[in-house]
Structure 1
C-alpha cells in the first residue's frame, strides 16, 4: 500500500476471505467452552475480489491526497505462480534481511496460486459467523480506513 502497487494473482476477480486476527481471537474465546468442535472452523471477516480490494484501497488512500490515488496493478499468471515466479513488490525487499528472498518468493507464489484457484474463498455456510451471529467482524474497508484513511 505504501508504494501504491498491487500484485494480483490470476485475473483478480476471484473472491478472497479476509479475517482480522482480533476477530479470530473473539470467535475462539466465544467457542472455547463448547463441548463439541467441528473438525474445521471457518471465520469470515469480509469477502471480496482483489480487484475490488485495490479499488477500495485507492479510494481510502485517495481521500488523503487532493488528486486521489491510483495503484500500479500487475497481474501474475497462475502458470507463472505455479513455477514459483511472481511480481516482487517494493515492500518485499525490506523482509529479505529476516527471510531469504527465495523462501518469500516460494511462499508468495504458493499463496497466489491458492488465491487464483479460489482456495481462499471460504464457505460462509459452515462458518462460525452463522452460529455466532452477534459477533461482528472488521470489514476490509474499516481496516483500511483506520490504517490509511483520514479517520
Structure 2
C-alpha cells in the first residue's frame, strides 16, 4: 500500500485523462461550488493517480527495501487554498462556498454536490454521504496531512509529481 492522500483525478476528470469518474468531495469545480468540511485550514495531500503509478513502478523496480508505509505527495494544501488560490483563479469565477462543522460531519451529513447523484446507483446516498463525511472528519483531524520528509518523492528525484495548481489550471483554465 502506498499512501497518497486524495486523488486529484476526482477534481480534474474528465477534463484530463484519468480512469476515475468525477466525484466532488467538498469542491465541485464543474458547479463552481465548495462545501468545505470543518475550518478549511488543515492541509491535506493531493496526488494524481498517474503520478502515484510512476512512483509505484519505480518502487517495484528498486532494489531497495520498501518502507513499511511508503507515501507520495503531489501537493499539500488546505481546502481554502484549493478554492481561493487555485480553482477560482483557474476558472475566473467566485465559488459559492459554505462551511459545515465537525459536529455535522460526525452525524454523517454533508452537502450534496452535483456529481453525487451519478454515484447513487452504485453507492446509495446515505452510504456515500457517510463515507464523504468520514473523510471530512479525517481531513479536519489532520489524517491527510502527511509529512513531506521521507516520501518516495525524495527517493526518485528524476520524477516530479504535478501540483494541484498545474492540474486544475490545465483542466479548467477559463
Q: Is TM (by shorter chain) over 0.5?
A: yes
Structure holding more helix per residue = 1
Q: CA deviation at 1:134?
A: 2.0
Unaligned runs of at least 5 residues, structure 2: 1-28
Q: 1:42 corresponds to which residue?
A: 71
Q: How many pairs were matched up?
A: 144
Among candidates 138, 151, 157, match of residue 133 of structure 1: 157
User: Could you state the TM-score of these two structures normalised by the residue count of structure 1?
Assistant: 0.90
User: Could you state the TM-score of these two structures normalised by the residue count of structure 2?
Assistant: 0.79
Q: Could you say what secondary structure the match of 1:124 adopts? A: coil
Q: Which has the greater radius of gyration?
A: 1
Q: CA RMSD in A?
A: 1.2
Q: Could you say what secondary structure the match of 2:146 adopts? A: coil
Q: CA deviation at 1:90?
A: 2.3
- What is the rounded CA distance, in whole Å, between the counterparts of 2:172 and 2:87 in structure 1? 8
Q: Could you say what secondary structure the match of 2:31 adopts? A: coil
* 2:173 is the alignment partner of 1:149: yes
Contact in 2 for aligned 1:74/1:87 (Cα 8 Å): no
Unaligned runs of at least 5 residues, structure 1: 63-68
Shift >3 Å, 4+ stretches: none
- What is the rounded CA distance, in whole Å, between the counterparts of 2:99 and 2:38 in structure 1? 6
Q: 1:103 corresponds to which residue?
A: 127
Q: Could you say what secondary structure the match of 2:144 adopts? A: coil
